[in-house]
Structure 1
């Protein structure tokens, strides 16, 4: 009588998969730490992304577990919602003219960038759309992935814009007669364990609820909204400790950098040229609207320009402080744009694009690449 065939038992991810995840996070963490030490903009995120992408291009099998991504999205959403304070909400209501002009500038910037990337550079419309979103890098990357966009293109469009703005904006403002001043701020954290657990618990609840009802970009957007409500009404004060945000940026950078596996170097060169072209267009539009907002509200041009440029909320707020510009004004404008985009972009993407036929990581790379 033949012996019964033994069926191997699977209790979870294989040891090899876990090992590759750990290796990926080590690579990403090393890149993030290096960029942070060098003082690069958004160092933990950009460094993790760059080094993971380099490893992927070199053939290293990099991967991030899906459940870890979900946890990361909730943590990042909770941290971003914590940027909302009662003072910020009052600030949003106190600058109606510049807020209105900013609201007009965003669709103009996005339409111009999409038209350039799609019609001139030959990008697909999904990728051009998400690459054109001004700021909100972390949120956009998550939404672009779920919508089936080519996240490599989106990463280049968003990251290149942030790098160039942080590197060149101080010099540009100096040419306008503005003299830098100030020191870097220190972000306060939740004052006690109870507040910490409450803030994190609210974010987890909001993220899981949004996932449950299948809200677009659910985990991050849900956590951000829930966290924003309790912080905006003063029920919880302070942000999560920086270590949570750093860990989230490392995982997000690793996840996005892993998408570059199989990409040719010639493709990266095309992405770079296309992204710089889109940046020049959006920055020029931001300058035009900043001149208009400055004139209508009788505010300094440098102040309004920093509030309008398509950069990240955290980076532009810190830059405003360093340059001696009212950080509350800048943060309020970037926050209003960030919240509006976080809420509207998933809905717009769902209406115009629907659910992705294949996830972004499964897109046939050769079919979507520009040719030499």
Structure 2
């Protein structure tokens, strides 16, 4: 019997894959949480979705779902802010100054490896070496003639490895990553719950409308942090909201590998992993310096310095029991610095190009929104 016409609709199939992606991510996150792995709901969802993507499944997360979940996560992270946290802000300029100093060192070292050792063209090496600001990097890479496949793969692989392995690695630096959710008390009543959620959503929508970097999550976190920091509301959202948020974030990160073929892995995997190792070693060296100068714990400074995405690393700090505001501020500083500097540098040294330097016959892996 033939299938109904609506079942054949591309929109229906696309939404069916959205649902399937979330179900797969939930199963993976639940399995990792059952194994009591650090950040299990997040890393398990990421690994399960990435494996499906590499096997050819058209996995993905619907944009509005992602934005809504980011607002909920931001609201919960903002609830971790206390007056003690605000007093600690006085040490932030020290670690931010060290972070800024690390950026040119990291980019030059990674670019030198990709160009001189791996044989990448200079344009592609430059944009792949950028430790963040992916949207700006991709726009400039396309208009400057870089091989966007290399850039996207290197950036996506870096985020995947950091989210999957960073919780366990942090344990080696003396931090005790928890396999469970944070233990901050839950909001005591429905009024506080609705108020907290409403404040977070308002802040997220306002920041998103203003095109603020990481707007949905960062805006919700800032709004929530204000009301919690001044003692107007106490308590975080119930655990189920955090679990859903971690699962969706993991699914979104893993789905970046959708459409990637074995040929792409063969050409770019080793180069991208080596570049990540170089960037991580440099981040660790500067994190040691920043921690020594500021008196902040090394694991927290390292999570603030590693070349990961703003939203992912902020949530990683939260689930590992670190100060999410501290981590978010540093990644935001790096994002803004790179977003302002990269277009200027690219225009001065590369200019515009009519034909990109994509001369390897492999698939194009498009980035997710």
TM-score with structure 2 length normalisation? 0.68
Report the counterpart of residue 220 of structure 2 in structure 1.
Answer: 223
CA contact (8 A) 2:40 2:179 kept: no
Return the offset for 1:29. 1.1
Superposed, 1:40-79 pairs within 5 Å as: 40-79=37-76
Name the counterpart of 2:352: none
Q: How far off is 1:157 after superposition? A: 0.5
Confirm or deny that 1:31 pairs with 2:28: yes
Shift of 1:142: 8.4
d(CA) in 1 for partners of 2:135, 2:31: 24
Number of matched residues?
A: 328
Q: CA deviation at 1:343?
A: 5.5
Provide, for residues 14-53 of structure 1, a one-character-per-residue CA deviation record: whole Å limited to 9, x for no partner.
Answer: 5444433222211111112122223344332332222223
Q: Is the 8 A contact 1:31 1:50 kept in 2?
A: yes
| Alpha-carbon distance between aligned partners in 1 of 2:219 and 2:177, rounded to the nearest angstrom | 37
Is residue 337 from structure 1 mapped to residue 330 from structure 2 by the alignment?
A: yes
- 8 Å CA contact 1:81–1:228 kept in 2: the answer is yes
Query: 2 CA distance for matches of 1:23 and 1:203?
Result: 28
CA contact under 8 A between 2:39 and 2:179: conserved in structure 1? no
- Aligned residue number for residue 362 of structure 2: 366
Contact 1:101 1:293 in 2 (8 A): yes
RMSD: 4.3
Alignment of 1:1-372 (within 5 A): 15-94=12-91, 97-98=94-95, 100-106=97-103, 108-109=105-106, 112-113=109-110, 116=113, 121=118, 122=120, 124=124, 128=128, 132-133=131-132, 152-171=153-172, 173=173, 186-269=183-266, 271-293=268-290, 296=293, 299=295, 303-304=297-298, 306-309=300-303, 310=305, 312-313=313-314, 315=316, 333-341=326-334, 366=362
Work out whether residues 151 and 259 of structure 1, in 8 Å CA contact, stay in contact via their aligned partners in 2. Answer: no
Cα distance in 2 for residues equivalent to 1:170 and 1:31: 22
Alpha-carbon shift at residue 98 of structure 1 (Å): 4.9
SS of aligned partner of 1:366: coil
Q: What SS does structure 2 have at the residue aligned with 1:186?
A: coil
Give 1:90 deviation, angstroms: 0.7
Shift of 1:342: 5.7
Deviation string for 1:194-247 (max 9, x for gaps)? 222122212221222233344454333332332333333333333322322221
Measured in 2, the distance between the counterparts of 1:229 and 1:186 equals: 20
Cα distance in 2 for partners of 1:290, 1:128 equals 22
Preserved CA contact (<8 Å) 1:153 1:271: yes
Structure 2, gaps ≥5 residues long: 143-147, 307-312, 348-359
Structure 1 segments unaligned to the other structure (5+ residues): 1-7, 134-139, 322-326, 355-363
Shift of the 170–20 alpha-carbon distance from structure 1 to 2, 3 Å rule, reads closer
Higher alpha-carbon deviation: 179-188 or 109-118: 179-188
Partner Cα separation in structure 2 for residue 182 and residue 32 of structure 1: 15
- Preserved CA contact (<8 Å) 1:313 1:334: yes
Structure 1 residues 245-286: Cα deviation after superposition (integer angstroms, max 9, x where no partner): 221232233233333233122423555433432343233323
Measure the CA separation in 2 of the matches of 1:197 and 1:85: 20
Taking structure 1 as the reference length, the TM-score comes to: 0.68
Q: In the aligned structure 1, how far is the partner of 2:137 from the partner of 2:74?
A: 16
Residue pair 1:25, 1:250 contacting (<8 A) in 2 also:
yes
